[in-house]
Homo-oligomer: A and B are copies of this chain.
């Protein structure tokens, strides 16, 4: 039986409020064997108090050893099995620039490239143009018209743009046209089924037109397309969990992921303090809040241990403001680990704390990876976090008599 079927069968709506605070890439590693992680190094009296009163554990976003991207990492926290619900690269790129993709869309990641007189690719990234030039080239591409579909082109940055075809019966089983090597022509797009062949035909027309409109604009005189993806069919969090859910995120990608599961996207401003103000003013209108904090991931990706520690300490400082609102369930976790030692996302389990009045206390007195390992939640698949949140919020009835 599917997890969502059980939840839909057992769920009971009430006014209790759940806050899911996601510190992106929260988990870390010590720089030296036996040392402390970023979270363990940070001075976090407020998180420690929450951990001490609540219950802690380590979540596995996907499976042991599997490093998640932001999409699967967040879907799991939102209660969606990341192995069942997959989000294609094109859709994620579109979400990342706040493009509102819909059910009739195929979203595609585009790259500007350079081709020589014979049409062979000489630079797969067109010498990494400035983002301004990217926007100017996209303005040219926007003029391309293809009968039967709407075409949208939006710049991302440097050589990257998002291309969306909107129309009926468009599939996404289409190959990438980037041959992955210089000295070769871009590949022709071809589709695996009828709907995808339709998309491929449109894509090949677009590429031909792109060559025409960009033709003299060296070095950005051609494009390659990859990650063809239709909008995934996902039930909303309201449909599955019965939540009135709101997202308070600064970065477009996370707003997009929240929109994907039907959350209302609140204008979050650009700072953590803005986010907390928004939370406060929206408090009465929703019963589930997703707060996203990006900087624990970006500092980890930069390999900057000290900066990650600092960003964790900054996050700790807003915890009293959240608690002042009297949430019934407050969860602090990450969508994956981003150890500054590795400068990338990793597969290591993610420190997680859940605070509510119905927690069975464990021996954890501070929020950190080693302490979480001793916590009452144990190591668990992240997709179960929402069931735990619902249970602690009195939103799940008994299973069976």
Interface of A toward B, CB cutoff 8 Å? 1, 3, 6, 10, 29-30, 33-35, 37, 52-53, 58, 62-73, 82-84, 86-87, 89, 92-93, 227, 339, 341-342, 344-349, 358-363, 369-370, 373-374, 376-380, 384, 386-392, 396-401
Specify which of A29, A64, A378 lies most central, judged by the most chain B CB atoms within 10 Å of its CB: A64
Contacts of A89 in B (CB 8 A): 401
Do A390 and B65 touch (CB < 8 A)?
Answer: yes
The reply to whether B37 and A360 contact each other, CB–CB distance below 8 Å, is yes
Q: List 20 A-B contacts (CB under 8 A).
A: A33-B361, A34-B361, A63-B384, A63-B387, A64-B387, A65-B388, A65-B391, A66-B387, A66-B399, A68-B400, A69-B398, A82-B399, A89-B401, A92-B401, A227-B401, A339-B360, A346-B358, A347-B388, A363-B373, A373-B374
Q: Is the interface of A mostly helix, strand, loop or mixed?
A: loop
Min CB distance A205 to B, Å, is 26
Most chain B beta-carbon neighbours within 10 Å: one of A53, A62, A345, A401:
A401
The number of times this chain is found in the oligomer is 2
Closest-by-CB residue of B relative to A35 is B361
- Also in contact, A360 and B65, with CB within 8 A (given A400-B87, A401-B89): no
Are A358 and B342 within 8 A (Cβ)? yes
Whole-angstrom distance between the Cβ of A65 and the nearest chain B Cβ: 3
Please tell me if the beta carbons of B398 and A68 are within 8 angstroms of each other in the complex: yes
Nearest B residue to A75 via CB reads B400
Asked if B398 and A345 make an inter-chain contact with CB atoms under 8 angstroms apart, the answer reads: yes
Chain B min CB distance to A87 (Å): 6
Residue of A67, A389, A396 most packed against chain B (CB within 10 A): A67
The residue from B53, B71, B380 contacting A64, defined by CB atoms under 8 A apart: B380
**Cβ of A369: which chain B residues have Cβ within 8 Å of it?**
360
- Contact check, A388 vs B72: say whether CB atoms are below 8 A apart: no
Q: Residues of B contacting A72 with CB < 8 Å?
A: 399-400
What residue in chain B is nearest A54 (Cβ atoms)? B33
**Set of chain B residues within 8 Å of A388, measured between Cβ atoms:** 64-65, 347
Of B3, B37, B70, B373, which is within 8 A of A63 by CB? B3
Closest to A362 in B: B373
Flag if A71 contacts B401 (CB, 8 Å): yes
Q: Are A370 and B378 in contact (CB under 8 A)?
A: no
Check A66/B373 contact, CB under 8 A, given A72-B400, A348-B360, A399-B72. no
Among B68, B345, B362, B396, contact of A65 (Cβ-Cβ < 8 Å): B396
Do A65 and B387 touch (CB < 8 A)?
yes
What's the minimum C-beta distance from A394 to chain B, rounded to whole angstroms?
A: 10
Residue of B nearest to A27 (CB): B360
* Chain B residues within an 8 Å CB radius of A86: 400
A345 partner residues in chain B, CB cutoff 8 A: 398
Q: In the complex the two chains form, what is the Cα distance from A348 to B400 in whole Å?
A: 16
- In this complex, what residue of B is CB-closest to A61? B399
Most buried by B among A342, A361, A380, A390: A361
Q: Residues of B contacting A33 with CB < 8 Å? A: 53, 359, 361
**A347: shortest Cβ distance to chain B, in Å?**
5
Which residue of A82, A378, A384, A399 has the most chain B CB atoms within 10 A of its CB atom? A399
Q: Within the complex, what minimum Cβ distance (angstroms) separates A376 from chain B?
A: 6
Residue of B nearest to A72 (CB): B400
List chain B residues, Cβ under 8 A from A347. Answer: 388, 391, 396
Contact A361 B401, beta carbon cutoff 8 Å: no
Q: A71 touches which one: B341, B363, B387, B400 (CB < 8 A)?
A: B400
B398 touches A67 (CB 8 A): yes
Interface centre among A53, A93, A384 (most CB of B within 10 A): A384
Closest Cβ of chain B to A44, distance in Å, is 18
